[in-house]
Chains A and B, each alone.
Chain A
Amino acid sequence: MIYDPLDIALMLAKIALVFFVILTLAAYLVFAERKVLAWIQDRKGPNRVGPFGLLQPLADLIKLLTKEDFRPIGADKWLFYLAPAMAAIPAIMIFAVIPFGAPLRLFGHTVQLQVADLHVGLLLFVALSSLAVYGVALGGWASNSKYALLGSIRGLAQLLSYELSMGLSLVPVVMLARSFRLSDIVAAQAGCWFIVYQPLAFMIFLISIAAECKRIPFDLPEAEGELVAGFHTEYSGMRFGLFFVGEYLNIIALGGLAATFFLGGWHGPLLPPVVCFSVKVLAFAFLFIWIRGTLPRLRYDQLMHFGWKILTPLALLNILVTAWWLVLRG
């Protein structure tokens, strides 16, 4: 297979663009979260650095970079150093399969606005989101601290409870689109978004991704009221920052996937496709922030109960019903 240099250049430009946009977006999502939470609590939020506090992410970055990089005595050195990257890198890699706009014509080439259009894009996402929990588990385990260990145990239990229902809630989507390829799934929603056919699967997926990115009400691995800061108790400086960036990248990635699977991806009325997609992703991010400002944290056993006894059977039932419907429709 021979590659055109222009193709390679376009691909690299795409990767650079995605990198730049998501990292900036993650930084500003932290800022947006602090602002929106402040408004919910009748406060003003960060407004000191720059106009309306817009340079706050930069100030946070400088602060995190200049802090001491601390490692507790008895911590497993390599795992402790690698865990934050293990949390952040899968979150970045998920973006490789998300189609964020309609194909463009550039210099006589058709450019897919998607880094890699894999046959098994959906499976890659499920695999990567399972990998992301290794950062949490190993980070907590390597810290040599009881709070961190408790946090990572909870992280693992949470993953086991929610990965299953998340995967099962995506099966009807695959059945409807008849493909694991994300661009096919988006193309299948050109007429009608899958949320119309699959409201239950959408709700299950939404709850599962809230658990997946460790957001309130499922922030048990962190649980600052009980476990200091959970799995990242012992982390400081930019390693702590990487955990944070990973968390917010996860929000963007999972919001993007929710939009892709259920809300028609980049399809949308009036606005250009890329804008449509961004609006959907940001709406999901806002929803997560809003939920964080409203709901309390679930108890450990409630979470397991909810995952195993309610979400998973519901998702299975939903698959059965969808399958029957597809068969009867022929």
Chain B
Amino acid sequence: MKIVSDMTALLTGMWITWQHIFRRPVTIQYPEEKRTPYPRYRARIVLTRDPDGGERCVACQLCSAACPVDCISMQSAEAADGRRYAAWFRINFSRCIFCGLCAEACPTLAIQMTPDFEICKRDIMELLYEKEDLLIDGCGKSHDYNFYRHAGIGVTQPRGAGPKEKPPVDVRGLLP
């Protein structure tokens, strides 16, 4: 009987909604109640330093190339000792979508994401973060990684002095 099965279907639906009336709401009352984000939550971007206190960012532009909304811009420069750095570094948080592609693209682990998601501002220009706003004093999520120790070619240490780095081979020598 089609009518019986139809009526059963209607009443089943009514019963389910009736049960849900007495269920505890899943709403979180945001400004009063806040949920703690997970440690790896992707929100406000920071620029980290290496364990020796130097800037990790080498202004390679990979983050700005990876950014789907083009919110990162910078100008690269080179210090007297050969270290590259960003002369200025700017993230427009009014465009940033917190996708994390910049942090994934970064070869020196300089750009990282923090769980701080509450960055609303009255004035939209205050969402334009300059290098001094972005740069933090710590190493972020990787405490002992120093890009120049591994890959700095003759910049912060002589060739072959880095960890796990063999001394350069003398290509004109006769020894194997």
Verify A290–B17 contact, CB threshold 8 A.
yes
Verify A36–B13 contact, CB threshold 8 A.
no
Whether B25 is near chain A, meaning CB under 8 Å from some CB there, is yes
Contacts of A293 in B (CB 8 A): 17
Q: Digit string of B109-122 for contact with A (CB within 8 Å is 1, else 0)? A: 00000000000000
Q: How many B residues touch A, CB cutoff 8 Å?
A: 15
A290 and B16 CA atoms in complex are apart in Å by: 11
Q: Digit string of B1-44 for contact with A (CB within 8 Å is 1, else 0)? A: 00000000010011011101111111101000000000000000
Verify B17–A42 contact, CB threshold 8 A.
no
Q: A42-B26, A43-B27 are in contact. Are A36 and B21 (CB under 8 A)?
A: yes
Which residues 133-166 of B have a CB within 8 angstroms of A?
A: none
Q: A42-B26, A43-B26 are in contact. Are A290 and B20 (CB under 8 A)?
A: no
Question: What is the CB-to-nearest-CB distance from A51 to chain B, in angstroms, rounded to a whole number?
Answer: 15
Verify A40–B25 contact, CB threshold 8 A.
no
CB within 8 A of A294: which of B17, B24, B25, B27? Answer: B17
A43 and B24 CA atoms in complex are apart in Å by: 8
Contacts of A43 in B (CB 8 A): 25-27
Verify B17–A40 contact, CB threshold 8 A.
yes
Whether A24 is near chain B, meaning CB under 8 Å from some CB there, is no
Verify B20–A41 contact, CB threshold 8 A.
yes
Contacts of B17 in A (CB 8 A): 40, 290, 293-294
Question: What is the CB-to-nearest-CB distance from B157 to chain A, in angstroms, rounded to a whole number?
Answer: 60
Whether A38 is near chain B, meaning CB under 8 Å from some CB there, is yes
Verify B20–A42 contact, CB threshold 8 A.
yes
Verify A291–B14 contact, CB threshold 8 A.
yes
Question: What is the CB-to-nearest-CB distance from B13 to chain A, in angstroms, rounded to a whole number?
Answer: 5
Whether A119 is near chain B, meaning CB under 8 Å from some CB there, is no
A293 and B23 CA atoms in complex are apart in Å by: 15
Question: What is the CB-to-nearest-CB distance from B18 to chain A, in angstroms, rounded to a whole number?
Answer: 7
CB within 8 A of A40: which of B21, B24, B29? Answer: B21
Verify B21–A295 contact, CB threshold 8 A.
no
Contacts of B27 in A (CB 8 A): 42-44
Verify A42–B14 contact, CB threshold 8 A.
no
Which residues 6-50 of A have a CB within 8 angstroms of B?
A: 36, 38-44
Q: A43-B26, A44-B27 are in contact. Are A295 and B13 (CB under 8 A)?
A: yes
Which residues 134-154 of A have a CB within 8 angstroms of B?
A: none
Which residue of the partner chain A has the closest CB to B14?
A: A294
Which residue of the partner chain A has the closest CB to B10?
A: A295
Given contacts A42-B26, A43-B25, list 19 more A-B pairs with CB under 8 A.
A36-B21, A38-B25, A39-B21, A39-B25, A40-B17, A40-B20, A40-B21, A42-B20, A42-B23, A42-B27, A43-B26, A44-B25, A44-B27, A290-B18, A291-B14, A293-B17, A294-B13, A294-B16, A295-B10
* Top-5 shortest CB links A-B: A294-B17, A44-B27, A39-B21, A44-B25, A294-B13
